[in-house]
Amino acid sequence: MEVETMEHNISARKRKLRLIGGLFTLILVAFTLLGNTLFALTLPKVITGEAAKGSLDYFYKGSAVIKPVQEVELTNPAGWKVTKVLVGKGENVQKGQSLITYDSTEAKQQIEDEQAALQKLELSMSLLENEYIEAAHKEDYAALLQAKAALEAAKIDRDIQKKHIQAAQKKLLSNQELVAPFAGIITDIKAMEGMAAGGADIRLSNSSKGYQFELKIAASIAAMFTIGEGMEAQLLEKKNRVIQGNISLMEDSDPGNSGSLLPQGTAGTDEPATRIVVTVQDKTVKGGESVRVNIAKKGSEDTLLIASTAIRKDHTGTYVYTIETRQGPLGNAFYAVRRPITILNANEHTTAVSEGLFDKEQVITESSEPLMDGERIRQ
């Protein structure tokens, strides 16, 4: 009986020990899990996006002012006072048409004075010719030589005086009025009647050269355009009437805010810009009209795209963070891995990548705090 009681007690103690051991193990596991959970809450939280193939689309919105391809400033080099302005701003003029007349009173008086001086020279030459003839009749050799020399000098003075008169007449003819060097439109008038010219009197555009407007577009996007490519623009002052144009020039320029090349939105860009000149094929424009341009450009269909918020840069280059999964005793752990990339193109929301990533790969687009390469994270 006593032996049975002792065996029962020993068995009961073993059960208690197993129970206590099991409880201890459960508590240890619980604390471990709780500790891991609390630790995980201290890790940076990230949001991911998937790299996927597609096309990078752009919508350009810009505005500009139509200007003449050729525009010249006309002035009176003599600086004479304006007597009458014969044309108005915006007026069509023909080649050779008189635009302004000037006060030429002094110039005309100068010509009259020069002509009077010429008459005096011709009278003196008549006297010298008589002296020369008289010396020849008297056979006075010394007087003959003197009269001949005086006559030759007078002829030289007469020729010089004639040239002075011709120059004065030419100046009068070219400066008494301002004429149009070509057919065009008067774009500005500075001349005032009764006032001497202080600069350009008239600005004239050449109608035969046509009109143009300029746009500044991000260089990476301008590469999608070609010289000679057609472009439509809306005339804002004429109920948004559409006019046609062609790209005539593309050259490097400073970044500008003439427009935006974005997906469904507007925003500026700090990247190098390209100046695009569009020649307008419309005979109704006169210059000064405002136009609006809306262009849609579609990129390659087989481009690897990621969210622009995933892009990071430092002194070593451009990169993104991808997620690496590692097996652990308590489950999977996730780590941020830095991946250098090469950007092909970008807009406000999406970036096209040519190197560094694979299709369907997960990239970190947002994080609760700055990340480091190899740092553990939570999703």
Crossing angle of helices 141-175 and 105-138, in 10° steps, is: 160
List, in sequence order, the alpha helices (H) in the chain.
Answer: 2-42, 105-138, 141-175, 219-222
Residue 203 has pLDDT above 80, yes or no: yes
Give the pLDDT mean for 144-164.
81
> pLDDT tens, 284-328?
888 888 999 988 777 777 788 999 999 999 889 899 999 988 886
DSSP bridge partners of 234 = 242, 292
Give the pLDDT mean for 105-132.
80
pLDDT band at 267; cut points 50, 70, 90: very low
CB 43 within 8 A of CB 369: no
Q: Which amino acid belongs to residue 120?
A: K
pLDDT band at 265; cut points 50, 70, 90: very low
pTM to 2 decimal places: 0.58
pLDDT band at 130; cut points 50, 70, 90: confident
- What number does CATH give the domain 59-69+208-297? 2.40.30.170
Domain boundaries, the chain: 43-57+303-377, 59-69+208-297, 73-103+176-207, 105-175
- What number does CATH give the domain 43-57+303-377? 2.40.420.20
- What number does CATH give the domain 73-103+176-207? 2.40.50.100
**pLDDT-wise least confident of 123-132, 180-189, 265-274, 339-348:** 265-274
